[in-house]
Amino acid sequence: MIGLDLGSKYIKACSVFQKGDGSFTVYAAMTATPKENRDKEAVNKAVKYLLRQLRFKNKDLYLSAGGSDLLARDFVLPKVSHDKLRGAVMMEAENNIFESLDTMYSDFQILSSPVDNKIDVLFVASPKRHIDEMIASLSLTDLDIAGVTADNVAVTNGFLTFNSKKTATGSVILINIGDQNSNISILDHGELKFIRNVAFGGHAVTAEIASLYEIDFESAEKIKRHPEMWEEIGLNIKNVLKKSSSSLLEAIFRSMEYCVSKQRLGKIDEILITGGGAILKGMDTFIWDVLGIKTVKWNPLESDKIKGVVNSEQGYFAAVVLGLALGKEFANV
């Protein structure tokens, strides 16, 4: 199985091989997203380049959908038989969601074991336009699309598979910080409890630096990527993050508040950040200082279950594709 993440800045790919002793070998690769990301020939060329690095002949592909337009809702439903569950979920969604579900692809996941003859269900929907465009951009490749899932679910799949020590007890928040958007997943004792996406990423930080110094975006990006320049030019990264990341901080706080109010968890023990945005020096300490919750960077490819890694330096970019390459969708599908 191949995981492919068509990001706004980079295209990432991953393949995973499980060994007889239960360990894994992982191949990861990434390349810049073509400036015209709907250019089928350019995307085809980029994907072929990635596949050569993966050394994987299987053409089955898993994709993911993200962005702030991803719709996620959770419902508590009476326990019903498996064959009636989808109908019950769709009826509940239509009664509680104002957006037209006819224009969206949707799926759902049972969040936990039934309690008191009730089940907790996570419903996710993404605009058909977004997914259709993504699939169309791959039309010149010879890949077979096996499934599409949410970025958040893919990140969670990878975390639960490769980080069992951190999932056995306590509650954690996983935040995958991309270029344009961030994916938030909240887990309690190894069970997914909540997901949310927010329009914040590394692009917003670069834009704030560009505005602060009245320089072009490319120069601001260079400054962001080279912390050794910050002291020389008097850049206070905490002030930059305060101005640029308010939407992320609010989304984290509101998500925790919601889960606590629904009695899904008591408190958050740790926040783990990954994605290209997590590499920024000071991002972890900034979130820790503001929210008062231990925050650490998470490189998905540093798991002790992974015995062989190709391109391990790309680990922070691999959270989504690593989960996709496992070939898992929602648990009930």
Q: Which domain holds residue 79?
A: 71-124
Indicate the pTM of the whole model: 0.90
259-316: pLDDT as tens digits: 888 777 778 999 999 999 999 999 999 999 999 999 999 999 988 888 887 777 788 9
Residue-wise pLDDT tens digits, 60-77: 889 998 888 888 888 888
Counted domains in the chain? 3
Q: Do 170 and 210 belong together in one domain?
A: no
Same domain, 210 and 232: yes
What is the C-alpha to C-alpha distance for residues 67 and 131, in angstroms, rounded to an integer? 11
pLDDT digits (tens, 9 = 90+) for 145-174: 888 999 999 999 999 998 866 555 689 999
- H/E stretch holding 82 reads helix 82-96
Does residue 240 have a pLDDT over 70?
yes
Q: Is residue 75 part of a domain?
A: yes
- Determine, yes or no, domain membership for 195: yes
Residue 41 confidence (pLDDT) above 50: yes
Q: Is the dihedral of CA 297, 316, 38, 150 positive or negative?
A: negative
Is residue 79 situated within a structural domain? yes
pLDDT of residue 332: 33
Same domain, 185 and 270: yes
Pair 166, 61 in one domain: yes
Residue 288 and residue 212 share a domain: no
CA distances from 67 to 64, 82, 252 (A): 10, 30, 16
- 109 and 235 inside one domain: no
Residue 181 lies in a domain: yes
Kindly indicate the confidence band of residue 52, based on its pLDDT and cuts at 50, 70 and 90. Answer: confident
Based on the fold, state whether residues 35 and 169 are members of the same structural domain: yes
20 belongs to a structural domain = yes
Give the CATH number of the domain where residue 106 resides: 3.30.1490
Among 129, 145, 130, 139, which Cα is nearest to 4's? 145
- Number of residues that make up the chain: 333
CATH number at residue 317: 3.30.420.40
Number of neighbours of residue 129 by Cβ within 10 angstroms: 11
